[in-house]
Structure formats: C-alpha cells, structure tokens
Amino acid sequence: MKVTLRLQKISDAEDFYRILSNPNFKYFSARPVSVAAERAWMKQNPTKRNFHYNYAIIMNDNVVGGCGIRINQHRKHIGEIGYFVDETHWGKSIAPKAVKLLENIAFQTFRLRRLEILTHPDNKASERVAIKCGYHKEGTLRKVIEHSKGFWDAHIYAKVR
C-alpha cells in the first residue's frame, strides 16, 4: 500500500468534510459545518504559504486523510505537524507513513530543525503514531488546543534534527 502526499485542492473539500464530520473524531478540533465552509477554508490555503502547508493523504488514487506543517513564525526553525485519517483506514499505518513524508518535507525542503506533534491526552492512537515515528514526549501543555467547548490540554512530542 503506497501512501503519498500532495498539496490540498479545493476538490478535496467533500472528502475532508466527510472524514472530519465523523462523530468518532473526538480529538480533532477542526469540524467543518458544510462542504461549502470547507471549500472556503481551503481557498485561503495559498495565502498561508510560508507558515502553513496543508496536504491530502492519497492511497490508491483516493483521499484518505489530511496532514500539514505549521511553521512557528517566531521560531522559524520549529514546525508543528498534524494529521487525520478516514476511520475506514484506521489501523493501517497510514498516519505514520504520512508523518514520515511530512518529516522529509519539513527537514529537507523547509530546513526545519524541530518538529512537534500535539496529541489530546486521551488520543492513544495519535500518541502511538508519534512514538512509532521516533518522537519523544516532552510533557503536557495546559489548555493549548482551542475547540468548541473551550480549551484542551495536549501532550507534546518532538523530534529534533
């Protein structure tokens, strides 16, 4: 099973809306309210270049998830990566493959020195992805992830080059 990444396209909006609207995505704060809202958000992506790069995760010519790199604007050597995978593909090692591809982009193309992954404390699957990819847990950040009901704590995992 080959996993690839490509920059997101507006045409991915329906797939992302379907994936992110799944009620089993308990720990992912991005919840588009409609396909149109997802398209509108995606249309802003090119204006975010130089600090935010969003990719579609592709397997067998289908969008199976999304991922991205957000470069810290105060410490431009640091990037935060995030990822999500369609529930029908959970447990198939797609997220770790996407993380490895993101690392190559981050370290080779953007010349970042440090990558971080934030995970909800209850999201054991995402923690397993970080650990499997060689990230080290550095601690817990209090009230760092904003979502519709306030703020969540997050474990921070990092890899340094």
- CATH code reported for the domain at 3-160: 3.40.630.30
Q: How many CB atoms lie within 10 A of CB 3?
A: 21
pLDDT in the model for residue 62: 96
Are 161 and 110 contacting, i.e. CB atoms less than 8 angstroms apart? no
pLDDT in tens, the chain (161 residues): 899 999 999 999 999 999 998 888 877 767 788 899 899 888 887 667 778 899 999 999 999 999 999 999 899 999 999 999 999 999 999 999 999 999 999 999 999 999 999 999 999 999 999 999 999 999 999 999 888 778 999 999 999 99
Q: What is the pLDDT of residue 65?
A: 96
For position 130, what pLDDT does the model report? 97
Q: Which residue, 60, 63, 55, 45, is CA-closest to 109?
A: 55
Q: Where are the domains of the chain?
A: 3-160
Q: String of b and e for 76-105 (b: at least 16 CB within 10 Å)?
A: eebbbbbbbbbeebeeeebbbbbbebbbeb
